[in-house]
Structure 1
Amino acid sequence: MRVGLLITEFKEKKVCDLCLGADIAARDLGVELVIFPGKKIITDQNFHDDKPYEYQYQAVYDYIYEAGFDGLVIDIERIGKEAKILKKESFLNQFGKKPMLVLSDMEGFDRVEYDKNDSDFEIGFLAIEQILKKISGNTVKSRKQVLKEFSAEAALNAIRKTSALFEFASQCSYTKDNYDFILSKITNAGFKDFELFLLERPQLCSIKKGWQVPKHSKRIITIHEGKAEKIDKVKYMDTSDIFDLSEIKGTKIIRNVFRGEEQYGFFIMGFDESVRIGDFDDLMTSIVLCGIRINFLKKCLVDTEEELLQCQEEIARDGSVLDHIGDEDYLTKLPNRSGFFAKAYDLLKMSFKNGKYAVVAYIDMESLKNINAIHGHDEGDHAVCRVADILSEVFGENSVCGRIRGDEFAVIEVTDEEDKAEELRIEMARQNNKLLMENTKYLNHLIYSICEFDYEESLSLREMLKETDDNLKNMRRMETLG
C-alpha cells in the first residue's frame, strides 16, 4: 500500500510533528509513505520577484500522477494558505478520483476526523488510519505513541550531518570526481537511505508553460541501510517506476533538484528526525544540486574538449583548402570532410542505439600520388572516381561515405547485423583485387581498415575514428615491413 503525504516544508514544527506521527503509523501498519514537500501554491498575489523560482518546489507533486499511489493525504490549509478557494479546489482536483483526505475543512472533499485538542502528531496517526479505511473499506488501528522530545543525541547527530554537508559544499571543485565525492560525504554524514537520480539533460520548468515529469531518469547513487553503492552504466529508467524500484524501505521524502528554470534531477531520502532541524531539508537539496550541476558542467567541458580535438584532428588530416568549402567534394560528389562529419554525427544521433552496431572504415589510395605524377591529374581524378564508385557499391546507400582527404575516404554505417564488418572486409578484398586487374597502365591499390563497434552510451565518433585510423596505420606498417 503506497500513500502520499503532501506538505509545505519541514521548517514548521507542526508540519514535522504531523510527519512524525504519520511515519510511526505507516511503519506500524506496513504502509509505504512518501512525503512530498512542495511548499505553497503560487498565485499572482504571492509571486515575488525576489524569489522568482519558488514555483519549482510545487512540481514535486507531479510525480504522483503515474507512480501508483493508492491514496493521498493533503495538508491543503498550509499548502494553499495564500491561495483563494478556487485555486485550492483546482489543486486538489488535479489528482482525479484517487482516494484522498485533506487535513482541514474543504467543501466537496473528505477531511481527516480529529478532535480540536489533538496535536499535529496525533493527527498524523489518524490520517494514515483513515486513508487506509477509505482505500480498503476496513478499519485499522496503529499503536499510538507519544511524541518524543528531540533528544540532545538526535540533535547532535543532525548537527553532524549538517556539518558534513557544509564541508562538502565548501570543498566542491571542478577537479573532483563528484559522484564519489558526494557519495563519501553523504555516507560520512550518517545518511542510511539515499538515492540520487540524474536527468539526461537539464529540463526547463516555466511558471507560464509548466513542465512535464521527465519520462526517464538515471539512478546514479544508492545508499541502502548505510551501505553505499556507485552505479555505473545503468540505463535510464522510466520515472514512473522510481518508487517501485526504490530500495529504500519505510517512509521516504522526494525532492526535485533545480536551479532557476532548470531541473537537473531529484533524490529520494529515508525519513528520519533530522528534518526537525528546520533548514536541513533545504540545505540537503542545495548541496546535492551543487554536486549535480558541477557534473553537468564537467560533462560540457569534456564534450567541448572532444569537439576541439576532433576539429584539430580534421584539420591535421586535411591538406586541401577545397575540402573546407561547402559540404560536397567537387570531384566525386560525395560529402567532403566537413560534410562527412556532419552527416556521420546525424546518423549516430538518430540510429546508434542499444542493440545496434557501428561500422567505420578508412580507405587510403596509396597509389594516387604516383598516378598523378606519372600519368597526370586527369588520370588521377579518374582513379579517385572509380574508388568512389566501388565504395558506394560495397557499403550501399544506407551508409555515409565521404572523401575526407585527397587520397583518403571514410565510411560509417549503423546496422542491426553483428559481424557486418567481416562481410564488408571480404567484399572490399574482392573489389580491391578487381581494381588491380582492370587497369594495365598503373596499379590502383587500396589499403583499408574496417572496424565494428557495439553501442555504448559513452562511445564517441572521435574514438571510433581514432581506433579505425590506428588500425589503418598498423596495416600500412605491416605492408612496409612485408
Structure 2
Amino acid sequence: MRVGLLITEFKYKKVCDLCFGADIAARDLGVELVIFPGKGIITDKNFNKDNPYEYQHQAVYDYIYEAGFDGLIVDIERIGKNAQILKKQSFLRQFGKKPILTLTEVDGYEKVEFDKSNTDFEIGFLSIEQILKKITGNTVKSRRQILKDYSADDAISTINRIASLSDFSSKCNYVKDNYDYINKKIIESGFQNLEIFLLENPQVCSLKKGWKVPKHSKRIITIHDGNAEKIDNIKYMDTKNIFDMSEIKGTKIIRNVFRCEEQYGFFIMGFDENIRIGNFDDLLVSIVLSAIRIYFLKKCLVDTEEELLQCQEEIARDGSVLDHIGDEDYLTKLPNRRGFFAKAYDLLKSSFKEGTYAVVAYIDMDSLKNINAIHGHDEGDHAVKRVAEILKEVFSESSVCGRIRGDEFAVIEVTDEEYKAEELRIEMARQNNKLLMENTKYLNHLIYSICEFDYEKSLSLREMLKETDDNLKNMRRMETIG
C-alpha cells in the first residue's frame, strides 16, 4: 500500500509534527509513505519577483501521476495559502480519481476528521488511518505514541552532518568511478538512506507551461542502511517505477533539484529526525544541486571535446578548411552549422511573431558510420546527398535546412498553420520508409524529431533547438532499448 503526503515544507513545526505522526502510523500499519514537500501553488497572481524560480518546487508533485499511489493526503490549506479556491480545486483535480483526503474543507473532497483538541502529531495518525479506510473500506487503528523531544545536541549533530558534506560536490566528476568517493563522504556524514537520480539532460520547467516528468532517469548514488551500493553499469530506468525500485524502507521524501528554470534530477531520502532542523532539507538540496551542476558542466566539457575532435576529423578528410569557415556545406550545398544558425536567426527575427508557429527538426543519419565503414566514404557521401534531397522535398522553400554535423541535419520553418509539425512527421515517415526500400546494399536509416512551438516573445532559438535535440536523444535511447 503506497500513500502520498503532500505538504509545503519542513521549516514549519506544525508540518513536521504532522509528518512524524503520519510516519509512525504508516510504519505500524505497513504503509509505504512518500512525502512530497512542494512548498506551494505558485500562479501569475502570487508570483514573487524576488524569488522567480520558487515555482520549481511544486513540480515535485508531478511524480505522483504515474507512480502507482493508492491514496493521497493533501495539506491543501498550507499548499494553497496564496491561491484562490478555484486553483486549489484545480490542483486536487489533477490527480484524477485517486482516493484523496484533505486536512481542511474543500468542496468535492473528503476531509480528515479530527477534533480541535488534536495536535498536529495526532492528526498525522488520523490521516493514515482514515486514508486506509477510504482505500480499503476497513477501519484500522495504529498504536499511539508520543513525539519525543528533540534536544539541542541532536540539532548540533544534524548541523555538523550537513557541514561535513560541504566539499563533496566538487568531487562530482563526469566519471562513474568517482562515485565511490561521493558515497563514502555521504556515509561519513551520517546519511543512512539516499538515492540520487539524474535526468539525461537538464529539462526546462516554466511557470506558464510546466513540465513533463521525464520518462527515463538514472540512479547514480545508492546508499541503503548506511551501505553504498557499487554501481558498475549506470542504466536509465522508467521514472514512473522509481518508488517500486527504491530500496529505502519506511517513509521516504522526494525532492527535485534545479537551477533557474532547468530541472537537473531528483533524490529520494529516508525520513528521519533531521527534518526538525527547519532548513535541513533545503540545505541538502543545495549541496546535491551543486554536485549535479558540476557533473553536467563537466559532461558538457567532455561532449564539446568530442565534437571538436569530430570536426577535426571532418576537416582532415575533406581537405578544405574553407568549407568549415564559410557558410555552405561542401557536399550537400546546404548551409553548414555556421550558415544554418545565421539563417535561422534571421528567419525568426523576420517571421516569428504573434499568431505564428516555429517548427524545428533534427534529423540523424543513424547508419552513416556503418555505411562509411563497410561501403566506403564515397557511398557515404552519396547517402548524405540523398538525405539532403529528401529534406528539400519535405520542408518548404522558406525553411532553413542545414547540415550541422557529419551525420546530422537541422531544419527550422515558420508557419501560420497550427499542427504543421504533425503533417511533417507523417511526410518524413513516408520518405524514411521510401529511403529504406530504395537501396539493397545497405540501410540508410533516419531518426528524427520534429517539434512545434507557439510564439512567445521570450522563446529563444537555443531553447527550441535544445528541446528538439532532447526529444531526439530520447528517441535514440528508445530505439536502443527496443
Q: Establish whether residue 206 from structure 1 lines up as the match of residue 193 from structure 2.
A: no
Could you tell me how far apart the structure 2 residues matched to 1:137 and 1:292 are?
44
Partner of 1:270: 270
* Cross-structure match for 1:236: 236
Q: Measured at CA, do residues 310 and 79 of structure 1 come closer, stay the same or move farther in structure 2, by a change above 3 Å?
A: same
Q: Which amino acid counterpart does residue 282 of structure 2 have in structure 1?
A: D
Q: In the alignment, residue 199 of structure 2 is paired with which amino acid?
A: L
Q: CA deviation at 1:164?
A: 1.4
Instruction: Give the distance between the partners of 1:200 and 1:84, measured in 2 at CA.
Output: 36
How far does residue 397 in structure 1 lie from its aligned partner after superposition? 5.8
Structure 2, unaligned runs of 5 or more? 341-361, 388-405, 408-440, 442-472, 474-482
Percent identity for Structure 1 against Structure 2: 67
1:37 aligns with 2:49: no
What's the counterpart of residue 96 of structure 1? 96
CA deviations on 1:2-27 (whole Å, 9 max, x unpaired) are 00000000000111111011001101
- Cα distance in 1 for partners of 2:152, 2:203 equals 41
Tell me if structure 1 keeps the 8 A contact 2:18–2:122: yes
Instruction: Report the 3-state secondary structure (helix = DSSP H, G, I; strand = E; otherwise coil) of the residue aligned with 2:248.
Output: coil
How much has 1:99 moved relative to structure 2? 0.6
Q: How does 1:289-308 map to 2 (within 5 A)?
A: 289-308=289-308
With the length of structure 1 as denominator, give the TM-score of the two structures.
0.68
1:7 maps to 7
* Distance (whole Å) between structure 2 residues aligned to residue 358 and residue 153 of structure 1: 64
- The Cα of 1:322 is off from its aligned counterpart by 7.5
Once the two structures are TM-superposed, the CA of residue 312 in structure 1 deviates from its matched residue by 3.1
Name the CA distance, whole Å, in 2 between partners of 1:173 and 1:227: 19
Please tell me whether Structure 1 or Structure 2 has the larger radius of gyration of its CA atoms: 1
Q: 1:191 aligns to what SS in structure 2?
A: coil
Deviations 1:381-436 (A, max 9, x none): xxxxxx95xx58xx9969999xxxxxxxxx99xxxxxxxxxxx9xxxxxxxxxxxx
Say what the alpha-carbon RMSD is for the aligned residues.
Answer: 3.5
Deviation at 1:183?
2.5
Three-state SS of the structure 1 residue aligned to 2:109 is coil
CA distance in 2, matches of 1:192, 1:173: 20
1:215 touches 1:238 (CA, 8 Å); kept in 2? yes
1:361 to 354, 360, 373: 373
Q: Indicate conservation of the 8 Å contact 1:182/1:291, yes or no.
A: no
What is the distance in 1 between the residues matched to 2:318 and 2:370? 24
Shift of 1:101: 0.7
Match of 2:116 in 1: 116
Within a 5 Å distance, the mapping from 1:45-194 to structure 2 comes to 45-168=45-168, 179-194=179-194
Residues 1:224 and 1:321: Cα distance change in structure 2 (over 3 Å)? closer
Contact 1:24 1:125 in 2 (8 A): yes
Contact 2:174/2:299, CA 8 A, preserved across alignment: no
TM-score, length-scaled by structure 2: 0.68
Distance 1:151 1:399, change over 3 A: farther
Counterparts in 2 of 1:357 and 1:5: CA distance versus 1, 3 Å: farther
Please state whether the residue corresponding to 1:219 is helix, strand or coil. strand
Give distance in 2, aligned partners of 1:313 and 1:357: 13
- The DSSP-based 3-state class of the residue aligned with 1:129 is helix
Residue 361 of structure 1 aligns to a residue whose secondary structure is helix
* CA distance 1:70–1:148, change in 2 (3 Å): same
Query: What is the Cα deviation at residue 335 of structure 1?
Result: 9.7
1:351 to 352, 366, 374: 366
Report the CA distance shift for 1:358/1:292 in structure 2 as closer, same or farther (over 3 A): farther
Query: For the residues of structure 1 that align with 2:107 and 2:375, how far apart are their CA atoms?
Result: 76
Deviations 1:209-249 (A, max 9, x none): 11111111111111111111252433311111111111111
- The answer (yes or no) to whether the contact 2:220–2:231 under 8 Å persists in 1 is yes
1:115 alignment partner, SS class: coil
